[in-house]
Amino acid sequence: MRYDRQMIVDPATLEAALPYLAVGFGAQLIDGALGMAFGLISNTLLVSILGMPPAQASARVHLAEVFTTAASGISHALHGNVDWRLFSRLVVPGIIGGVFGAYALSQLDASISRPFVMTYLALTGLYLLWRGWRYTHETRRPKVVAPLALVGGFLDAVGGGGWGPVVTSNLLLQGTDPRRTVGTVNTAEFFLTVVVSAAFILSLGWTAFTLATSGLIVGGVLAAPFGAMLARRVPARALLLIVGVVLTLTSALSLWRALA
């Protein structure tokens, strides 16, 4: 039997893709379990450790998120982590906010508002730590959902990330169930990501699928079921505490970079 040489994967290519696969796997494992931080963690590792230029890192991460959020949403749905009533209240305002954010991106300087948003999120993280420490099993239906999704979608498009930290943390502040909140926000994020990334994908075409992008996608998709499994099995109090720690640290890091 004759083999086409183009069909044989070069081991050197696989080795070069491993760091990106590891970044995608680790970032999605955390994001799937906590409902936030894929973009920030991926961008930080790609730029700081792998030496990728910031603009290229952001482009690759946004494109990879189209696939990782789809896998994460499906995994959370299969594990029973999605509150479909809450999902229906989030997804349409989130998409509208994302569309306006994508338009505003060319008109506004996101660096002006970013320090204020990061300060708010860092303070929210500290409050979630306090709530986790004093956690009770009482949960409540959130009252403020559509405006929250609108703002979260807008900030995600303008600032290159923010849907998870803004929406997940504020729903938890309103007393929602941590596990179902994480799963619902992750599932709704897929539709937001598709809308925000559509113009980017159309402009770049197949050339956007570089080795780095492919590694992030494969690693993220492989990690998605494990992230959903963690969200289901981690106790609510522990989940609140972990979300508080991750949100506080990542927001503080972004704030420091914005002011540096």
Q: Which range has the top average pLDDT, 30-34, 101-105, 136-140? A: 30-34
pLDDT, one tens digit per residue, over 53-75 is 766 676 678 788 888 999 999 99
pLDDT grade for 7, boundaries at 50, 70 and 90 = very low
Please work out, in degrees rounded to the nearest 5, the angle formed at the alpha carbon of residue 19 by the alpha carbons of 155 and 64.
35
pLDDT, one tens digit per residue, over 235-256 is 877 877 888 888 788 778 777 8
Which has the minimum average pLDDT: 72-76, 107-111, 155-159? 107-111
Whether the pLDDT of residue 30 is over 80: the answer is yes
Give how far Cα 52 sits from Cα of 39, 45, 62, 212, Å.
14, 9, 15, 10
Q: Residue 86 has which token pair?
A: 């809450």
- The reported pLDDT for the residue numbered 13 is 66
Q: Residue 47 has which token pair?
A: 């730029």
Are 72 and 94 in contact by the 8 Å Cβ rule? The answer is: no
- The reported pLDDT for the residue numbered 173 is 83
Higher pLDDT, 119 or 136: 119
Neighbouring residues of 127: CB distance < 8 A, sequence distance ≥ 6: 173, 244
Q: How high is the mean pLDDT of the chain?
A: 80
Domain map (residue ranges) of the chain = 17-259
Long-range contacts of range 195-203, CB-CB < 8 Å, 24 or more positions apart?
195/95, 195/98, 195/99, 195/102, 196/62, 196/98, 196/99, 196/101, 196/102, 196/153, 196/156, 196/157, 197/62, 197/63, 197/65, 197/66, 199/102, 200/59, 200/62, 200/63, 201/63, 201/66
pLDDT, one tens digit per residue, over 178-198 is 889 999 999 999 998 888 777
Whether the pLDDT of residue 125 is over 50: the answer is yes
Neighbouring residues of 104: CB distance < 8 A, sequence distance ≥ 6: 154, 157, 158
How large is the average pLDDT for residues 6-34?
A: 76
Neighbouring residues of 251: CB distance < 8 A, sequence distance ≥ 6: 118, 119, 121, 122, 124, 125, 165
How large is the average pLDDT for residues 228-240?
A: 83
pLDDT, one tens digit per residue, over 134-146 is 766 678 889 999 9
**Terminal C-alpha separation, the chain:** 61
Q: Residue 228 has which token pair?
A: 């959903």
Higher pLDDT, 92 or 11: 92
